[in-house]
Amino acid sequence: MDIVTRGFSGRRRDRDERLPPGQTLVSDWPVLSAGPTPHVPTEEWSLTIRDETGTEHRWSWDELLALGVEDVTVDIHCVTHWSRLGMSWRGVSLDRLFADVETTDDYVMAHSYGGYTTNLPLEDLLDGKAWIAVEADGAPLTAEHGGPARLLVPHLYFWKSAKWIRGFTTMPTNDPGFWEQNGYHIHGDPWLEERYW
Ligand SMILES: Nc1nc2c(c(=O)[nH]1)N[C@H]1C(S)=C(S)[C@@H](COP(=O)(O)O)O[C@H]1N2
Ligand SMILES: [Mo]
């Protein structure tokens, strides 16, 4: 990957303040996938939230977009020490999806096409903190970066941003997902360097 040294847009001090401890800026966008890339056509794609009663809330591709897309500019931080600042994304806020869901559970497991999982407290997904992203850098998400849609939770390390998202299951306890079972931190705040445990 290219490490940014000079000429990156933004004042150096501003960049430094936005870079969590132990992170290095990159100018390209590395691909990190634990397995093969699923290819899911949007006509076959759906997103499901399953709550503790077994009730399933489901959105087709068109239904997802009909909830309303928004543009966000955020920084992303990978636990393998690279960060990208000021990335532009387009997606649907998780607030819109969970508006319909009544749950007393405090946690969710995110599930992806292909089998990847990652766990999150519900409070890290709500109040404008997370999106189902469908575009990045002004173009539809490529399959390698999680298209047609991925979870985007920019305030946590990027392994929490599940590519090829297919849904969420609510959970009463914070059960570990794929990387969390393999030594990554249960929460993953880059400002606290919650990398491994
Ligand atoms: N489904 C799925 N989502 C995933 C991964 C994965 O292997 N499978 N890798 C995670 C990790 S470790 C990172 S750093 C980011 C990488 O996203 P990118 O390849 O778009 O940079 O996706 C995260 N989401
Ligand atoms: Mo990662």
Domains of the chain: 45-192 (3.90.420.10)
* Cβ 114 under 6 angstroms from ligand 1: yes
Mean pLDDT of 9-34: 88
157 Cβ inside 6 Å of ligand 1: no
For the chain, give the mean pLDDT: 95
- Residue 162 is predicted with a pLDDT of 99
Give the mutation target among 45, 159, 166, 195 for probing the ligand 1 site: most ligand atoms within 8 A of CB: 159
Burial 156-184 (b: 16+ CB within 10 A, else e): bbbbbbbbbbbbbbbbeebebbbbbeeeb
Q: What is the pLDDT of residue 195?
A: 98
Structure tokens that stand for 100 in this block: 């319909």
Asked if 163 contacts 145 with a C-beta cutoff of 8 angstroms, the reply is yes
pLDDT at 30: 96
State the Cα–Cα distance between residues 134 and 141, nearest whole angstrom: 6
Percentage of residues of the chain with pLDDT beyond 70: 93
With residue 46 as reference, give the H or E element that holds it: strand 46-50
The residue-averaged pLDDT of 130-158 equals: 98
Instruction: Report pLDDT for 15.
Output: 78
Phi-psi region of 70 (alpha: psi -120 to 50; beta: other; left: phi over 0): beta
Q: Is the pLDDT of residue 82 over 80?
A: yes
How far apart, in whole angstroms, are the C-alpha atoms of residue 166 and residue 117? 10
Average pLDDT in the 72-78 region?
A: 98
| H-helix or E-strand spanning residue 84 | strand 82-93
Which residues surround the ion ligand 2 when the cut-off is CB under 5 Å? 32, 78-79, 159
Contact 119, 107 (CB under 8 A): yes
In whole angstroms, how far apart are CA 96 and each of 18, 54, 59, 180?
28, 20, 12, 27
**Would you call 90 exposed, middle or buried from its count of C-beta atoms within 10 A (0-12, 13-18, 19+)?**
buried
Q: Could you say which ligand is closest to the alpha carbon of residue 115?
A: 1
**Alpha carbon nearest to ligand 1 atom 22, residue:** 159
Q: What is the pLDDT of residue 68?
A: 98
Q: What is the pLDDT of residue 14?
A: 77
Whether the pLDDT of residue 55 is over 80: the answer is: yes
5-14, 163-172, 186-195: lowest mean pLDDT where? Answer: 5-14
Q: Using alpha carbons, list the distances in angstroms from residue 160 to 6, 16, 119, 176.
A: 30, 23, 8, 11
Average pLDDT rounded to a whole number, residues 57-79: 98
Average pLDDT on 10-16 reads 71
